[in-house]
Amino acid sequence: MSDKSATLVQGTLDMLILKTLALEPLHGWGISQRIQQLSHGVFEVNPGSLFPAFRRLERAGLLECEWRISENNRRAKYYSLTKAGRQKLRSETKEWERQVAAITRILQTAS
Amino acid sequence: VGLWTSLSAGLRGLFRKKQTERELDEELRDFLEKSAAEKMRSGMSREEAQRTARLEMGGVEAVKENVRSASWETHLESLWSDLRFGTRLLRFNPVFAGAAILSLALGIGANTAIFQLLDAVRLRTLPVKNPQEIARIAIDHLGGRSGDFTSRYSDLTYPMWVEIHAQQQGFSNFFAWSPTQFNIAPSGEVHNVQGMWVSGEFFQTLGLQPALGRFLNSADDTPGCSPGGAVISYSFWQREFGGDPSVIGRALTLSRRSFEVVGVTAADFYGVEVGRNFDVAVPLCAEPAIMGEDSQMKSRSGWWLASMGRLKPGWTIERATAQLQAISPAIFEATLPTDYNPDNTKHFLAFRLGAFSADSGVSELRKDYEQPLWLLLALAALVLIIASTNLANLMLARASAREKEMGMRMAVGASRGRLIRQLLAESLLLAAVGAVLGALLAHNLSQLLVASLSTQNNPLFVELGTDWRVFGFTAGLAVLTCVFFGLAPALRATSVSPGVVLKESSRGTTEGHGRFSLRRILVVSQIALSLTLLVGALLFARSLSKLTSVETGFRQTGILVTDIDFSSLKLPNEGRSNFGHELLSRIRAIPRVESAATTETVPLSGNEEFHDILPGISEPLEDQNPVSAFHHVSPGFFQTLQTPLLAGRDFNDHDVVGSPLVAVVNETMARKILKTGNPVGTMFRVRRLSKISGPFEIVGLVKDTKYGDLREEPLPIVYLPIQQEPRPDQDSQILIRSSLPLPELTSAVKDSANSAHRGLDLSFFGFHTMIEEGLLRERLMAKLSGFFGGLAVLLAVIGLYGVISYMVARRRNEIGIRMSLGAGRRAIIALVLRESFWLVSIGLTLGVGLSLAASRAATSLLFGLKPHDAATLIMATVILAVIALAASYIPALRASKLDPMDALRNE
């Protein structure tokens, strides 16, 4: 990750990947670009953490993959959400919102 | 579901490893291309874009490694490759591997064998339904009872059992039983098997199912029954009937009565006594028919029964005890023996019943051997520690030889954890192989142990299964030893800073202390521990030798004891005396029989008889009278045992019923009770419960002899002539001293007994053998602690030798310089020995402290020795010091023979 980009909070990368894939199946590069775009360049995702996360999520049964021909006419590995992955995304999002709300409350009180 | 997906995906990954790897490559390449294409779109040149993309990824191999470590099968794979690497290393060092595996197998095997016995004897529950509900009912303190005690578990009398059975409320089912022996030979030489009297509720209470036929029930156990059904054990069925399924209904002779086999128990049921296996169970009500006039059924002072019950749902041991205590006064009032004197009565009426947890049954074996076994387990554990210490030492030596390799691998990026894991895999391999071999060894060792404690009269049976406890114990030992001898060296080997190791030259000129001191500490502790084991071994060996050489007052060897049972003749009282006398005369007439005598109780056989002594003729009765042991013997008893007659005379053939009552006493009786040096001519009376007999006139004084146990202090003993017994027994126990070999003597005795009457029940045993068998526990402790002690010393000395040799090797340069500067051979030897002297001295000092603290655990198992016996401690210290210094003399001598030029050149 480069200096200007923010460090991801532990465990949030998985959630971001799941969110990205909720719209449509994507390949590794696509996912990394999508995260960067959606965060307006705040998060830059390092392939060194991206690919292990794919493997982890795949093993946990949250992602499935398939080889398809991509835009440059080459074979690429496309990831998509499984049913369990969608459920996980929902519960993670809810949990995340709860925590953010709580932290925001604390920060507002303190100031 | 998640676990299953992960598992199946992992397995797929394992089996299609190549494909998975190829796909990962392709995926990453695709990513790089897309990344580079993007960069080219923003204006970079092709080369620059590709370079930047690769830089951003931070090394394709590193990413791949990270991906791999996100899946569990990779760890399995790396463990597998570590194990393979470990195997290869061990194959390159077969001597090291062999020694390591052998010492671990021995150590783990010995520990497991002893634990297996402890598990069977102490930890396991009875093989019955819900054993935790089973409780034993007994008097809460067993002291102060009087009467006849004829079984190993003499808790109750029959009248008591009847009362308790009628009044107890805490148990849904409640039975009485008593261990006994049955003679299954129809006639001739006795063939005893292990029997049980059981009340009708026995099998039902325990909740058992028969393997064949049916069990005895309450209908079989009705007072006054005639011999009927018997249940046999599975092993007896196999042994005596060859497992014949048509055994039900077959006849079985038990003590000359015919019984019918009605059922066979399941294979895993051995009874309620741990350490024995019952052969035949017979209803309680058949006891009078079999025992005849020796029956205890009606006797209120005959203690021969034990009882157990199954607690009702909702009842606890405490609640049952409270109920039993509440009914106790009435029960003891109702069953008070009629022949008790006031003193006995007072004790009896104060008894209270209680319930005691019996989920693991009852066991004499446990009582005798639990403590020795724990002690032996501790000794074996120490041996294992010493053996692992040797391994740790060896591994340390190997670790320092591999320091460079480790430094190199860390320099190129291996993590410390990965290296430690690899080193531990080697130890794990050793420990696992050692444990498996040890477990196999243990199975044989524990059987050998049981066999060595089993005798003809005392056939032991221990169910030596491998349950989860034994398995866990062995596995735990393997892991512990592995961590112990593997972890420290692994940590040590990888604690190096790669730069330092790679820079350091192959060897310094003098030996620094840092790295080497761990090995010194290990050797010092080995010496300390092995001294403790040696002290233990010497204590038990000396204790045994004191026991075997104890002054018994008779000569044990060359005596055959024969028990001739003539109850089948159904002789009246006067006929018995005559028949016994005739048997004795016939045996005395056998050529080369030097002497023979009849006795009711054989010394040291465990049968004992004690009564009150009333000195004088008309002295008033006191509450507390002196107590003496009794022997009823024929003339010639002292001559046969070669007990010296100190004054007066032996009994003779004129001391019979009707002639004046006479007695012979021993020195302790004369000194302690009669308070005289020569009691010949003195009178005394005897009180048995409330019955007073005598007066007896003392006609002889004999030397003190042991009575019931070799360990006891001399007891007062009164000898009464067997011919003056008003009610003689229906059997004769005859001690025969002869120079004939035992088999010849035995057959000669059989012939002469048969010439008196055909078909008498005969049994034989050697007097000396019987006494030896009484020392089995001491012999076992001496043998095993001796073995462990010897092994410990050997291992410790090997450890010391290794460390000293290593030191000599490391100091070659220094020794070479010293020699070239003029140091003589003696000086070099002294240099090396000084090192070893310090190690040994510190080890021995620590060892003495440890021994003093540890030997206290053996106090109750020693005879004639205090656990902190100074002579033993000094002996052990000297032995170990001499052996240790001798072992270090070898490398010292080698050092003194070094060629200085050679040593210096060999940089």
pLDDT at residue B202 tops 70: yes
Residue A80 at interface with chain B, using a CB cutoff of 8 Å? no
Identify the band that residue B485 occupies on the pLDDT scale cut at 50, 70 and 90: confident
Of A56, A58, A75, the CB nearest to B26: A75
Cβ pair B237, B212 in contact under 8 A: yes
Identify the band that residue B264 occupies on the pLDDT scale cut at 50, 70 and 90: very high
Contact B6 A61 (CB under 8 A): yes
Pairing of strands B306-311, B302-303: unpaired
Pairing of strands A63-69, A75-81: antiparallel
For chains A and B, CB pairs below 8 A equal 77
pLDDT tens-digit readout, B579-630: 888 888 888 988 888 999 999 889 988 888 898 888 877 666 666 788 899 9
pLDDT at residue B812 tops 50: yes
pLDDT at residue B231 tops 90: yes
How high is the mean pLDDT of chain B?
Answer: 85
Q: How close A55 gets to chain B, by Cα (Å)?
A: 6
Per-range mean pLDDT, top range of B23-32, B207-216, B448-457? B207-216
Choose between A38 and B699: higher pLDDT. Answer: B699
Share of chain B above pLDDT 70, in %: 95
Query: Closest chain A residue to B5 measured between Cα atoms?
Result: A61
Q: Residue A48: list chain B partners with CB under 8 A.
A: 57-58, 62-63, 66
Q: How close A111 gets to chain B, by Cα (Å)?
A: 39
Q: How close B428 gets to chain A, by Cα (Å)?
A: 29
Q: Residue B58: list chain A partners with CB under 8 A.
A: 46-48
Of A29, A52, A60, the CB nearest to B31: A29
Q: DSSP character for B120?
A: I
For B640-673, give the secondary structure using H, E and C: HHCCCEEEECCCCCCCCCCCCCEEEEEHHHHHHH
Lowest mean pLDDT among A107-111, B159-163, B833-837: A107-111
The radius of gyration of chain A from alpha carbons, rounded to an integer in Å, stands at 16
Q: In this predicted structure, what is the pLDDT of residue B623?
A: 64
Give the N- to C-terminal CA distance of chain B in Å, as an integer.
64
Contact B31 A49 (CB under 8 A): no
Return all residues near B684 (Cβ < 8 A) that are at least 6 apart: B613, B614, B615, B616, B663, B673, B674, B694, B695, B696, B698
Cα–Cα dist B234/B138, whole Å? 30
pLDDT at residue A1 tops 80: no
Pairing of strands B192-198, B171-183: antiparallel
Residue A49 at interface with chain B, using a CB cutoff of 8 Å? yes
Q: How close A108 gets to chain B, by Cα (Å)?
A: 38
Return all residues near B818 (Cβ < 8 A) that are at least 6 apart: B827, B828, B831
Q: What average pLDDT score do residues B701-709 get?
A: 90
Within B485-633, strands assigned E span 559-565, 593-599, 610-615, 627-633
pLDDT at residue A14 tops 80: yes
Share of chain B above pLDDT 90, in %: 21
- For an interface test with A, give the residue of B34, B41, B75 to mutate (most A CBs within 10 A): B34
CB atoms within 10 A of CB B346: 12
- For an interface test with A, give the residue of B5, B11, B21 to mutate (most A CBs within 10 A): B5
Kind plus residue range of the DSSP H or E element containing B826: helix B825-854
Q: What is the complex's ipTM, to 2 decimals?
A: 0.85
pLDDT tens-digit readout, B867-885: 888 899 999 999 999 999 8
Q: In this predicted structure, what is the pLDDT of residue B198?
A: 93
Q: How close A97 gets to chain B, by Cα (Å)?
A: 25
**CA geometry: angle B655, B656, B657, nearest 5 deg:** 140
Unique residue bearing structure tokens 């960069």 = B39
Kind plus residue range of the DSSP H or E element containing B275: none
Most distant pair of Cα atoms in chain B: their distance: 138
Q: Cα B891 vs. chain centroid, distance in angstroms?
A: 41
Residue A41 at interface with chain B, using a CB cutoff of 8 Å? no
Q: Helix, strand, or coil here: B174?
A: strand
Cα–Cα dist B8/B734, whole Å? 79
Residue A56 at interface with chain B, using a CB cutoff of 8 Å? yes
Q: Which of B210, B145, B173, B144 is nearest to B307 (CA)?
A: B173
Contact A47 B71 (CB under 8 A): no
Q: In this predicted structure, what is the pLDDT of residue B637?
A: 92
Lowest mean pLDDT among B107-121, B195-209, B501-515, B759-773: B501-515
| Integer angstrom CA distances of residue B8 from A52, A80, B4, B11, B19 | 18, 19, 6, 5, 16
Contact A59 B5 (CB under 8 A): yes
| Residue-level length of chain A | 111
pLDDT at residue B354 tops 80: yes
Cβ pair B364, B461 in contact under 8 A: no
Cα–Cα dist B311/B317, whole Å? 8
Q: How close A51 gets to chain B, by Cα (Å)?
A: 6
Query: Closest chain B residue to A51 measured between Cα atoms?
Result: B67
Return all residues near A11 (Cβ < 8 A) that are at least 6 apart: none
Of B10, B38, B66, the CB nearest to A52: B66
Q: What average pLDDT score do residues B682-686 get?
A: 88
Contact A59 B69 (CB under 8 A): no
Q: Residue A58: list chain B partners with CB under 8 A.
A: 9
Cα–Cα dist B192/B180, whole Å? 10
Contact B62 A84 (CB under 8 A): no
Q: In this predicted structure, what is the pLDDT of residue B622?
A: 65
- For an interface test with A, give the residue of B25, B30, B38, B52 to mutate (most A CBs within 10 A): B30
| Residue B282 CB-density burial (10 A; 0-12 exposed, 13-18 middle, 19+ buried) | buried
Q: Residue A75: list chain B partners with CB under 8 A.
A: 26, 30
Q: How close B45 gets to chain A, by Cα (Å)?
A: 19
Q: DSSP readout, B46-95?
A: HHHHHHHHHHHHT-HHHHHHHHHHTSHHHHHHHHHHHHHHHHHHHHH-HH
pLDDT tens-digit readout, B656-681: 888 888 999 999 988 988 888 888 88
Query: Closest chain B residue to A68 measured between Cα atoms?
Result: B27
pLDDT tens-digit readout, B495-504: 766 666 555 5
Name B441's bridge partners.
none
Q: In this predicted structure, what is the pLDDT of residue A60?
A: 82
Q: In this predicted structure, what is the pLDDT of residue B492?
A: 75
Q: Residue A45: list chain B partners with CB under 8 A.
A: none
CB atoms within 10 A of CB B84: 12
Q: What average pLDDT score do residues B85-104 get?
A: 81
Of A29, A53, A60, the CB nearest to B35: A29
pLDDT at residue A4 tops 50: no
Q: In this predicted structure, what is the pLDDT of residue B863?
A: 86
Name B258's bridge partners.
B253
Identify the band that residue B507 occupies on the pLDDT scale cut at 50, 70 and 90: very low
Query: Closest chain B residue to A74 measured between Cα atoms?
Result: B30
Q: In this predicted structure, what is the pLDDT of residue B516?
A: 58
Contact B37 A49 (CB under 8 A): no
Cα–Cα dist B709/B550, whole Å? 11
pLDDT at residue B31 tops 50: yes
- Asked if the bond preceding B695 is cis, omega within 30° of 0, the reply is yes
- The Cβ-side half-sphere exposure at B298, using a 13 Å CA radius, reads 8
Contact A60 B66 (CB under 8 A): no
| Tokens representing residue B26 in the block | 């392709």
Q: DSSP character for B590?
A: S
Residue A46 at interface with chain B, using a CB cutoff of 8 Å? yes
Q: How close B416 gets to chain A, by Cα (Å)?
A: 21
Chain B positions contacting chain A at CB under 8 Å are: 1-2, 5-6, 9-10, 23-24, 26-28, 30-31, 33-35, 37-38, 56-58, 62-63, 66-67, 69-72
Q: Residue B9: list chain A partners with CB under 8 A.
A: 58-59
Of A60, A74, A75, the CB nearest to B2: A60
Q: In this predicted structure, what is the pLDDT of residue B499?
A: 62
Contact B2 A70 (CB under 8 A): no
Contacts 24+ apart (CB under 8 A), B551-554: B552/B603, B552/B604, B552/B705, B552/B706, B552/B710, B552/B771, B553/B641, B553/B643, B553/B666, B553/B703, B553/B704, B553/B705, B553/B706, B554/B603, B554/B641, B554/B642, B554/B643, B554/B705
Contact B26 A77 (CB under 8 A): yes
- For an interface test with B, give the residue of A17, A46, A55 to mutate (most B CBs within 10 A): A55
Contact B67 A58 (CB under 8 A): no
pLDDT at residue B706 tops 60: yes
Residue A4 at interface with chain B, using a CB cutoff of 8 Å? no
pLDDT at residue B1 tops 60: no
| Residue A95 CB-density burial (10 A; 0-12 exposed, 13-18 middle, 19+ buried) | exposed
| Tokens representing residue A96 in the block | 């995340």
Choose between A82 and B505: higher pLDDT. Answer: A82
Contact A61 B34 (CB under 8 A): no
Unique residue bearing structure tokens 């006493």 = B665
Q: What average pLDDT score do residues B1-6 get?
A: 64
pLDDT at residue B513 tops 60: no
Residue A70 at interface with chain B, using a CB cutoff of 8 Å? yes
| Tokens representing residue B613 in the block | 């002594």
Identify the band that residue B805 occupies on the pLDDT scale cut at 50, 70 and 90: confident
Residue type, A43: F
Choose between B467 and B766: higher pLDDT. Answer: B766
Q: In this predicted structure, what is the pLDDT of residue B718?
A: 93
- For an interface test with B, give the residue of A17, A26, A29 to mutate (most B CBs within 10 A): A29
Query: Closest chain B residue to A84 measured between Cα atoms?
Result: B2
Q: What average pLDDT score do residues B643-667 get?
A: 89
Stated pTM of the model: 0.79
pLDDT tens-digit readout, B282-341: 999 888 888 887 888 888 888 999 999 999 998 999 999 999 999 999 989 888 888 888
Contact B5 A49 (CB under 8 A): no
Contact B30 A84 (CB under 8 A): no
Residue type, B586: R
